Structure 1
Amino acid sequence: MEEDGMKRTALAPLVLIVSLFFLWGVANNLNDVLIKQFTKAFVLTDLQAGLIQFAFYLGYFLMALPAGLFMRRFGYKAAVVVGLSLYGLGALLFYPAAQIATYGMFLVALFVIASGLGFLETAANPLITVLGDSRKSEQRLNIAQSFNPPGAIAGLLIGKYWILSGIEHSEATLAGMPAAEKAAFYARETQAATGPYVALGLFVLAWAALVALTRFPAAATAQPRNEGEALPWSEALVGLARNKRLIFAVLAQFFYVGAQVGVWSFTIRYAQEATGMGERDAADWVIAALILFMIGRFIGSALMSRVNPARLMAMFALACLALAVVAAFAQGYAGLVALTGISFFMSIMFPTIFAIGVKDLGPYTQTGSSLIIMAIVGGALMPLAMGWVSTVYGSMHLAILVPAVCFGVILAFSLSNARAEEA
């Protein structure tokens, strides 16, 4: 009876925490729309637009270790409340950013949002595992992760219909506009994101209050106790520095997240360059990519019951590499279809790299996990590299060679581990 009561008590917290996977999917993929929107509103180069993802994923990188330390001191639930509070605050900062009409202020707001997401991602995954029967923890976590792609799609739909205006003026048209009309156009485009982000911020803060007021099982509110905490972080880092598989996993995750963020961030720009379509129609291709990503995750997970995960990821990485090369050099819709198809094969990479990296780490597991999460900073740097290539060479097509190199690293990591496991 006591166990049944615990499970009933855990149901409400489980629903609240599972929703987090949806919420950070919304925030992550709204950035793909913001890149296009701010390029128009602030007249940015592709390199300058890449700063959106740089500011965002820098927040993840800088907050991964502090979030882990906070969680060890105050527990999972407290870390979630802090994460949601930062997320909500960052979204509300879009209002003063729009009033000031300064690109840098928007970047600060995105950094604050990402700092909150760093707390959420560090805490939510292990928290799911303690909210209920431990024998079903893996099933709960997989169900929770399945809510991320719908959140990503929701973010893109919000961006498409409530941020992108569909109004795009050529340089010649803008040059011929009266100063007052041009200023009004830029002001409208700058403020377009304010409403959706303020509404999102208020909702997230309300969710934080709901989490704070909801009774959670003791395991979620107490300081986490597991074998990974028996070692000081400094000692764990020294030990992990000698683990070649983990170091390679951190490197592979860095390049994977960089490739994923880069591909999705510039799909709208690529689609417009390749076909001349409008920004709203181009946004549909990002939505299509996310649907393929979700399908690929289910199919890839099913195939893993028959194929070695590292070997399967090697095949998927090779497919991504080939499609990226096609996208870099093909013209028109052929290149766009290839670019969109990459998402199907990217689907299994993040969790597979993570699982391989922390496998058999024993007392080093928690610290190793934090290092792999820190590798998300690849999402800050690769879009900048793509923006630089596009700006210097005047071609978003050639910029796709940056994620092609990333997939080459993932292919090497996959083959290395497949051979080691099959030896």
Structure 2
Amino acid sequence: MSNPHGAQNYQKPLVALTSLFFMWGLITSLNDILIPHLKGMFSLSYFEAALVQFCFFTAYFIVSFPAGRLVESWGFKRGIITGLLIAGAGCALFYPSASLASYPFFLASLFVLAAGITILQVAANPYVTILGPAKTASSRLNLTQAFNSLGTTVAPLLGAMLILTQQHADGSKLSAAENAASVQGPYLVLAVALVVIALAFAYLQLPEVSLKEDQQAASANDSNVKSVWAYRHLSLGVVAIFAYVGGEVSIGSFLVNFMEQKSIAALSLEEAGKMLSFYWGGAMIGRFAGSAIMRVVPANKVLAFNAAIVVVFILLSMLIGGHTAMWLMLGIGLFNSIMFPTIFSLALQGLGKWTSAGSGALCMAIVGGALMPVIQAWFADNINLLMSFSIPMVCYLYILFYGLKGYQPKSA
């Protein structure tokens, strides 16, 4: 989409926005630590533990369209501040959840937290695509998403040390109450940090690129479009976001338990949690590299290539097993890296006045992170964990299609 503000320098607001991408990356990745922690704490099956991701990502489905309306009415800046405050409240709710040692309360807290993150995503992702030339939107969004990956890389290391540690320094086991309380400190710190960032954004001078201005820059054809779903590449992009988030979250959710298995790497829970940083660290490196690559290589070609590599990695992991399977799965993070921001920017291309609605639809599709882990968990419980990774493999096959054909802008 075109930039109605010409050559204006947006470096400062883009730098400020990176803090948001870092924070929601950190918070989302902590779910991969919470799952094995709560699984052990409450003696859950894989299916029951996957409800962590179900509750978190269901919020995207429920909140995305209202969030789009909120951003359209209030503007990007107020939308960002609202999202930060709601996410902070969700983090604060972890304290009573742990005190009560209640799994349903944990799930409710996660839903509130995710509702805030959803509003942040609906506001910040399209804001980044608008703040600059349309031809570099994918590159720009990948660069800011690289800081999201920095958060996802740091989170497993911190979470493994602060949450997954199962014994005291003297070697004695933590009690059930101590295990529950281990999440209180980290999430209270996150709550305070989110509120502080919200206050900082309240005082920042950000360019308020209104959607009404963007409507004026839209093509004349927009007057004939009655619904955002008339854009075929947006509709297929919604499915691609569903597939990508579902595949990525499924893999991340079960990697710790995957690496624990004797047939794979036989790591302890804490060791496996720390190894998860390789998965998310690869995503960070890939996004920085991808931001540069996509300035010379078409974004859709990079997307298709990466999806094909991930399919091969998953297939080889299921066939080979052992340490090789562990490293192949961890290596998927590198190729996951550019997928979300690239699909997002390709799907928003040329939407004009429908950009806000398109962003809401794409964020709604993040519900894939709720459904796909639950489906994979069923296979893990009833067949085996290794073969259950065929579920995310199907997701990446669809992304391959989107990168080759589905991204092409045309009205339905």
- TM-score, L = length of structure 2: 0.86
**Within the alignment, does 1:63 sit opposite 2:51 as a pair?**
no
Aligned pair partner of 1:265 in 253, 257, 260 = 253
Aligned pair partner of 1:397 in 383, 386, 410 = 386
Q: What is the CA-CA distance between 1:321 and the residue it aligns to? A: 0.7
1:98-124 CA deviation, whole Å, 9 max, x = no partner?
Answer: 111110100111111110011111112
Partner residue of 1:412? 401
**Within the alignment, does 1:358 sit opposite 2:356 as a pair?**
no
1:206-238 CA deviation, whole Å, 9 max, x = no partner?
Answer: 2222322x1424626x7764218999xxx9995
CA distance in 2, matches of 1:210, 1:79: 14
User: What number of residue pairs does the alignment pair up?
Assistant: 395
Partner residue of 2:232? 244
Residue correspondence of structure 1 range 375-390 to structure 2 within 5 A: 375-390=365-380
Q: What is the CA-CA distance between 1:333 and the residue it aligns to? A: 0.4
Name the CA shift for 1:77/1:419 in 2 (closer, same or farther; >3 Å). Answer: closer
CA distance in 2, matches of 1:77, 1:282: 39
Instruction: Find the structure with the greater CA-based Rg.
Output: 1
Say if 1:83 and 1:119, in contact at 8 Å, map to a contact too. Answer: yes
State the Cα RMSD in Å. Answer: 3.2
CA distance in 1, matches of 2:35, 2:58: 16
Name the CA shift for 1:153/1:91 in 2 (closer, same or farther; >3 Å). Answer: same
Say if 1:267 and 1:285, in contact at 8 Å, map to a contact too. Answer: no
Name the CA shift for 1:378/1:123 in 2 (closer, same or farther; >3 Å). Answer: same
User: Which range moves more in the overlay, 364-373 or 399-408?
Assistant: 364-373
Name the CA shift for 1:291/1:412 in 2 (closer, same or farther; >3 Å). Answer: same
- TM-score, L = length of structure 1: 0.84
CA distance in 1, matches of 2:354, 2:134: 23
Say if 1:88 and 1:205, in contact at 8 Å, map to a contact too. Answer: yes
Partner residue of 1:219? 208
Helix, strand or coil for the counterpart of 1:219? coil
CA distance in 2, matches of 1:342, 1:93: 33
CA distance in 2, matches of 1:137, 1:406: 27
Q: What is the CA-CA distance between 1:136 and the residue it aligns to? A: 11
Partner residue of 2:181? 191
1:28-49 CA deviation, whole Å, 9 max, x = no partner?
Answer: 1000100010011111111111
Residue correspondence of structure 1 range 308-387 to structure 2 within 5 A: 308-387=298-377
Say if 2:89 and 2:112, in contact at 8 Å, map to a contact too. Answer: yes
Say if 1:61 and 1:375, in contact at 8 Å, map to a contact too. Answer: yes
**Within the alignment, does 1:114 sit opposite 2:114 as a pair?**
yes
- Structure 2, unmatched stretches of 5+, are none
Identity of aligned residues (%): 33
1:288-342 CA deviation, whole Å, 9 max, x = no partner?
Answer: 1112112222333433344433233222211111111122232210111111111
**Within the alignment, does 1:284 sit opposite 2:274 as a pair?**
yes
Q: What is the CA-CA distance between 1:186 and the residue it aligns to? A: 2.1
CA distance in 2, matches of 1:135, 1:210: 28
Q: Any runs of at least 4 consecutive aligned residues in structure 1 with deviations exceeding 6 A, and if so which?
A: 133-137, 228-231, 418-421
Q: Which has the larger share of helix?
A: 1
CA distance in 1, matches of 2:317, 2:120: 34
Residue correspondence of structure 1 range 100-111 to structure 2 within 5 A: 100-111=100-111
- Structure 1, unmatched stretches of 5+, are 169-180
